[in-house]
A and B are shown apart, each in its own frame.
Chain A
Amino acid sequence: MKKPLLFLLTPLIILGIAFLRAQKSYYRDPTSFFFDSTRAYNRDYSLVRKNESDAFIEAAATKPFRRTVPYLPSAPRPLLCIGIPTTTRPTGDVYVRTTIGSLLAGLDARERDDIHLMPFVAHSDPNLHPIYTEPWLRNVADQILTYDIQGSQLQHVRDLERDKLNREKQIWDYTLMLEACLKVEAKYIVTFEDDVLALDGWFHRTKAALQGVQEQVDSKHLDGCK
């Protein structure tokens, strides 16, 4: 009687232990049964990084950190043109300071020279956005994009704003931003929303990833030619 009982119970006990372990390990996995939404959204690293970003922005009020390469036809083009469309939210929350701070905090001068940073204050009256008049913005942005349009087009933007046609305005804003980035002739065009946070080292990882994609595409193409 002993042996069958052992045979019956051992797997159940092992499974029970595994179950308890899984509750500990997989609570952050949204594809898991053990996902626990009360704990899964806890901010750990993003809080650390937010502090670094905010400290950077505070210092940037008196300390410029822009691309130092002149924009001449003979000068090297930046690796990335970064466009960030930003508008105020109905709630009044502003995340874009943290976004820009996290993109720049920790970069060294050579990395910075590879970036053309272009926030887009997407209000027909840019003064409606609190960051537009803040000194740090001019110290870190290589170009501050605003609606440089006249007459009927500007009226169109005002209409979109008044009627709260966000789904149409978002497309419109992105189109303008992408066109402005194309003019910069950077090797790549990056779009970030105005409520993201980048980790320390995002730039060197992205750069390596882009090289990797290029290599994989190249090698696949050459294989296909054989």
Chain B
Amino acid sequence: MLPKSRVSKALTLLVFYLRLFYTEQSLGWNVEFWPYYVFNSILITSGVIGAVFLYLRNKYKYTWQGMMQRSRHIFVLAVIYTALVIGFIFLCGRASLLPIPNGIAQMPKFACCAQGLVYNPARVPRLIQWYHEKKLGYVDDRAEELAETGEVGSRWALTPSVVQHVGTFSTKGEDDLKNGEVSVSQQRWNFAFELNNATLLRLEHEAAILPTTN
């Protein structure tokens, strides 16, 4: 058996970095997942309509044929309304309806920007070598490229982001933007960050550094 310290040292090679900042911008409904969305939509639609008909059948002893004849309008309306509700759900936005739970999670794709990253030092020599090979580019894009090769381990993200990107105001050309338009750099923004409550954060911090909890 290996000594414990050696085991955990080897295990850390499985991790590349932990992300302290990301923008929700890239976490919307993804076209790649359309079969999943369609399947769920059909499942919900048939579930709702099936439940209504089952209720009518049990309560009023309707037969299926009778219902189809008498309630054709109801059936059509139910389909339309269910479609409207599903459409509405999609409009609400994925980041709000299926938010990433608080804590840590792997985020191998759709993550953006190098505003704050915690690297595993065991992986940094390879990253340095990679930067030397590539010579130019954006540091975050290059790091993602390296991660895509699969040789440096998994990518993790902390939710909620503990860092905000604030270097976006009064950049050049901002004046040319019409009302409501934002510059590319300002789009690197974590929207949930602004909802933090300073008092709650301070209390949480104080509790975390109590000597007994260490």
Q: Give chain A's interface residues, CB within 8 Å of chain B.
A: 4, 7-8, 11, 15, 18-19, 22, 25-26, 28-38, 40-46, 48-50, 52, 80, 89-91, 93, 95, 98, 106, 108, 110-111, 165, 167-168, 170-171, 174-175, 178-179, 181-182, 185-202, 204-206, 208-210, 212-214, 216-218, 221
B63 at the interface (CB under 8 A from A): no
**Cβ–Cβ < 8 Å partners of B46 in chain A:** none
Contacts of B202 in A (CB 8 A): 106, 200-201
Q: Which residues of B contact A8 (CB under 8 A)?
A: 77
- The answer to whether A167 touches B136 (Cβ under 8 A) is yes
CB proximity of B94 to chain A, nearest CB, Å: 5
Tell whether, in the assembled complex, residue B104 and residue A32 are in contact, meaning their CB atoms are under 8 Å apart: no
Residues of B within 8 A of A218 (CB): 8, 11
Q: Are B167 and A95 in contact (CB under 8 A)?
A: yes
Contact of A221 among B14, B84, B181, B186 (CB under 8 A): B14
Contact A182/B196 with A190-B116, A193-B165, A213-B156 known, Cβ cut-off 8 Å: no
Interchain CA distance A34-B104 in the complex, whole Å: 28
Give the CA-CA distance A6 to B78 in the complex, in Å.
13
Contact: A22 with B91, CB < 8 Å? Answer: yes
* A217 with B189, Cβ < 8 A, contacts A171-B135, A196-B116, A212-B104 known: no
Of B23-31, B32-40, B54-62, B144-152, the one with at least 4 CB within 8 A of chain A: B23-31
Of the candidates A45, A168, A175, the one whose C-beta lies within 8 Å of that of B194 is: A45
| Residue from A38, A110, A209, A212 having most chain B Cβ neighbours under 10 A | A209
* Chain B: CB-nearest residue to A95: B167
Check if A199 sits within 8 Å of B193, measured CB to CB: yes
Closest 10 CB pairs of A and B: A195-B167, A32-B93, A31-B28, A33-B91, A201-B205, A204-B208, A202-B162, A45-B196, A31-B93, A168-B136
A111 touches B121 (CB 8 A): no
Q: Determine whether B64 belongs to the interface, using a CB cutoff of 8 Å to chain A.
A: no
What is the CA–CA distance of A202 and B128 in the complex, to the nearest angstrom?
26
Assess whether B167 is in contact with A189, with CB atoms less than 8 Å apart.
no
Closest to B205 in A: A201
- Answer whether A198 and B162 are a contact pair too, CB < 8 Å, given A110-B209, A167-B137: yes
Q: In the bound complex, do residue A217 and residue B158 qualify as a contact, i.e. CB atoms below 8 Å apart?
A: no
Given A199-B201, A213-B15, A213-B18, 16 further pairs, Cβ under 8 A: A28-B195, A38-B179, A171-B135, A174-B139, A175-B132, A189-B120, A191-B114, A191-B116, A192-B116, A195-B166, A196-B21, A199-B193, A199-B196, A200-B201, A202-B20, A217-B14
B164 within 8 A of A: yes
User: Can you pick out 7 interface pairs between chain A and chain B where the beta carbons lie within 8 Å of each other?
Assistant: A11-B84, A93-B169, A168-B135, A187-B121, A193-B165, A198-B116, A199-B201
Chain B residues 58-90 with CB under 8 Å of chain A are: 73-74, 77, 81, 84-85, 88
- The DSSP consensus for interface residues of chain B is mixed
Residues from chain B with Cβ under 8 Å of A32 in the complex: 91-93, 95-96
Contact pick for A199, options B15, B142, B163, CB 8 Å: B163
Q: Which residue of A lies closest to B157 (CB)?
A: A209
Q: How far is the CA of A95 from the CA of B94 in the complex (A)?
A: 32
The reply to whether A193 and B15 form a contact with Cβ atoms under 8 Å apart is no
B180 within 8 A of A: yes
- The chain B residue with its CB closest to the CB of A190 is B118
A109 to B186, CA, bound (A): 34
B170: which of A15, A93, A179 is its contact (CB, 8 Å)? A93
Whether A45 and B171, one on each chain, are in contact in the complex, defined by CB atoms closer than 8 angstroms, is: no
Give the distance to chain B from A106, nearest Cβ to Cβ, in Å.
6
Given contacts A19-B88, A29-B93, A217-B12, contact A98 B114 (CB under 8 A): no
A45 with B198: CB separation less than 8 A: yes
| CB-based contact A193/B124 at 8 Å | no
By a CB distance below 8 angstroms, the chain A residues around B204 are 201
**Quick check: is B182 within 8 A (CB to CB) of the other chain?**
yes
A69 vs B154: C-alpha distance when bound (angstroms): 32
Q: Which single member of B125, B165, B194, B201 contacts A195 (CB below 8 Å)?
A: B165
